[in-house]
Amino acid sequence: MTPARVERPNSLDDLSKALAEAHRQGLACIPVGGGTRLAAGNTPERYDVAIDLAGMSSMIDHVPGDLTAVVDAGVRIQRLQEILATSGQRLPFEIAHPHKATVGGALASNPLNLTGILFGSIRDWVLGMKVVLADGTTTKTGGRVVKNVQGYDLHRLHTGAFGTLGVIAEVALKLLPIPDTTRTVAAWFASSQDAAVAAKTILDSPIEPEALTILAGPEAQPGTLGAAQPKDGIAGSTAALLARLAGGPAAVSRQVDMVTGAAGAAAADGYEIIYPQEAEPLWAIARGESFDPNGLTARITVKPSAIPNLLEEIEKRGAAGLTKPPSYAAHPGFGAAIVNWPLAKDQDARDAARFAFTMAERHRGHAVIETCPAAIKPEIDVFGTIGPSLEIMKRMKQQFDPARILSPGRFAGRI
């Protein structure tokens, strides 16, 4: 869909005026950040004005002593991280294409955090926000201190709302120090089940990896792991386990030993211990950057204990039904898998979507289709089934945007 007009606000004031005007005219607005997740969500009912927030990116008010930063929504994640890093700090939030994705866009669309196992979702790092509502009213929620229970936590509601309740203009974030030492262990296995066994040993041990991901499939092949080519003799591997370990040097060295031990005990074909820079291409795969953008990508959330079974079923189904096998990045500690099916025809997309929803249901979890061909979107709600609380969500939309000008139809239940 293409909008008739693009608004490019440079300030909170501009943004407020643009929305007030659109509201007066009843024009449907979609906020645009880095554009990395514009394809996510249901197809909007109407799309008249694109609100491009790239211009709202000048403020990065970082107070290292407070471990907090207040930033404009249009600031790119990568740029924010670079600035924080000059003071030895970071936002523990790692998503695909950080050089393009903006803070506001990431918050609004709530992509999976690679480090979620230890640091949770982005909602856990938001301290407050300035949000412009549908009629142009500017509102503040929360604050910029790390503990705050004044008023309702509206910022949690706007997080992951895809801009359907308001446009996020400014965000206060909680930060963490960057650890002294970080190492990645990559281990290769004959099957994802073996990798899952190693993962479980790690999860049951005292150590707490920052990220723990099982990769498998053509787009996440051990053989294509860029700088970190696997050693000889593991050509038969079909799955890799990545573990990122951080802390002081002594703690990291023990964690590395523990992880390599767990991999060995689960019959790994081989492993490598990798420095941060060399590991980055591997983690980019884990963030889903090598997935086929024209394929169907599903995010399936289940309990951690269901992950091995889920992976088994994905692989079985991939080989039997669909034209091409899927690739995936699964996070066994967090309990989620991002699965990417390359598609030969629209029917493949329907099959893959149905499969993802069925799997979610079987494990009493949920699935969200993050990318899929526009042609099949009208047939499904990409957010899956919400349940009885959908009624509250609908009333929430009614309360915040009765004229339905903010991304109408894009959210769960076509809110």
Partner 1 sequence: MSPATKSKSRSAANAKPPLIRDLERVIDPRFVIWRPEDLLVYEYDGSIDRSIPAAVTVPGSAEETAAAVRIAKRHGVPVVPRGAGTGLSGGAVPLRGSLVVAMTRLNRILEINAENKIALVEPGVVNVELSNAAAEYDLYYAPDPSSQKACTIGGNVAENAGGPHCLAYGVTTNHVLGLEVVLADGSITWLGSDMREAPGYDLRGAFIGSEGTLGIATKIAVRLLKTPEAVQTMLAAFRSLDDASQAVSDVIASGIVPAALEMMDRTTIDACETVYRPGYPPDAQAVLIVEVDGLAETVAEQSAKIETLCTGNNASEIRRAQDPQQRADLWATRKGAIGAMGTLAPNYYLVDGVVPRTKLRDALAKVMEIGAELNLKIANVFHAGDGNLHPCILFDERDPAQVRRVIECGERILEMCAEAGGALSGEHGIGIEKQAYMPLVFTEADTQAMSRLRPAFGAEESFNPGKVFPGGAVHGETYGVKETGFHRTGTADVI
**Residue list 40-99, contact with partner 1 (CB under 8 A):** 63-68, 88
The count of chain residues that interact with partner 1, using the rule CB under 8 A, is: 80
- Whole-angstrom CA distances from 59 to 12, 79, 292 are 11, 12, 34
CA distance 226 to 203: 27
Binding to partner 1 by residue 305, rule CB under 8 A?
yes
Of 101 and 112, which CB lies nearer to partner 1 in the complex structure? 112
Report the C-alpha dihedral over residues 403, 408, 409, 410, rounded to 10 degrees.
Answer: -150
CA distance 29 to 46: 8
CA distance 362 to 175: 37
Of 25 and 139, which CB lies nearer to partner 1 in the complex structure? 139
Of 3 and 247, which CB lies nearer to partner 1 in the complex structure? 247
Q: State in angstroms the smallest separation of the CB of 406 from partner 1.
A: 13
Binding to partner 1 by residue 396, rule CB under 8 A?
yes
Report the C-alpha dihedral over residues 301, 174, 171, 84, rounded to 10 degrees.
Answer: -110
Binding to partner 1 by residue 139, rule CB under 8 A?
yes
Q: Are 11 and 137 in contact (CB under 8 A)?
A: no
- Whole-angstrom CA distances from 33 to 102, 109, 194, 382 are 5, 10, 40, 21
Tokens (6 digits) for 17 = 């005026």
Binding to partner 1 by residue 387, rule CB under 8 A?
yes
Of 84 and 322, which CB lies nearer to partner 1 in the complex structure? 84
Reduced to 3 states, what is the DSSP secondary structure of residue 256? helix
Binding to partner 1 by residue 120, rule CB under 8 A?
yes
Binding-site string for partner 1 from residue 307 to residue 336, where x marks contact by CB under 8 A and - marks none: ---------------------------xxx
**Candidate residues 34, 332, 384, 408; the one interacting with partner 1 per rule CB under 8 A:** 384
- Residue 124's CB is within 10 A of a number of other CB atoms, namely 14
Beta strands at 5-7 and 49-52: parallel, antiparallel or unpaired: parallel
Phi first, then psi, for residue 171 (nearest 5°) are -135, 135
Stretch of 99-107, 271-279, 320-328, 390-398 contacting partner 1, by CB under 8 A: 390-398
Q: State in angstroms the smallest separation of the CB of 228 from partner 1.
A: 26
Of 76 and 299, which CB lies nearer to partner 1 in the complex structure? 299
Q: State in angstroms the smallest separation of the CB of 123 from partner 1.
A: 6
Q: Are 162 and 410 in contact (CB under 8 A)?
A: yes
Of 153 and 292, which CB lies nearer to partner 1 in the complex structure? 153
Binding to partner 1 by residue 208, rule CB under 8 A?
yes
Binding-site string for partner 1 from residue 236 to residue 275, where x marks contact by CB under 8 A and - marks none: -----------xx-xx--xx--------------------
CA distance 70 to 187: 39
Of 46 and 140, which CB lies nearer to partner 1 in the complex structure? 140
Using a 10 angstrom Cβ sphere, with 0-12 exposed, 13-18 middle and 19 or more buried, the burial of residue 379 is exposed
Of 45 and 180, which CB lies nearer to partner 1 in the complex structure? 180
Restricting to residues 283-302, which ones interact with partner 1 according to CB under 8 A?
301-302
Q: State in angstroms the smallest separation of the CB of 91 from partner 1.
A: 14
Stretch of 266-274, 303-311, 340-348, 371-379 contacting partner 1, by CB under 8 A: 303-311
**Candidate residues 86, 232, 378, 388; the one interacting with partner 1 per rule CB under 8 A:** 388
Of 100 and 254, which CB lies nearer to partner 1 in the complex structure? 254
Residue type, 53: L
Of 154 and 220, which CB lies nearer to partner 1 in the complex structure? 154
Stretch of 73-81, 133-141, 188-196, 273-281 contacting partner 1, by CB under 8 A: 133-141
What totals of helices (H) and strands (E) does the chain contain, helices first? 11, 18
**Helix ranges (DSSP H) in 97-163:** 103-109, 116-119, 154-158
CA 11 to chain centre: 27
Restricting to residues 151-190, which ones interact with partner 1 according to CB under 8 A?
151-154, 156-157, 159-161, 165, 176-178, 180
Binding to partner 1 by residue 23, rule CB under 8 A?
no
Beta strands at 239-247 and 181-189: parallel, antiparallel or unpaired: antiparallel
DSSP string, 159-192: TTSTTSS-EEEEEEEE-EEPPSEEEEEEEEESSH
Q: State in angstroms the smallest separation of the CB of 177 from partner 1.
A: 4
Binding to partner 1 by residue 304, rule CB under 8 A?
yes
Q: State in angstroms the smallest separation of the CB of 223 from partner 1.
A: 31
DSSP-based helix, strand, coil % in the chain, nearest 5: 35, 25, 40
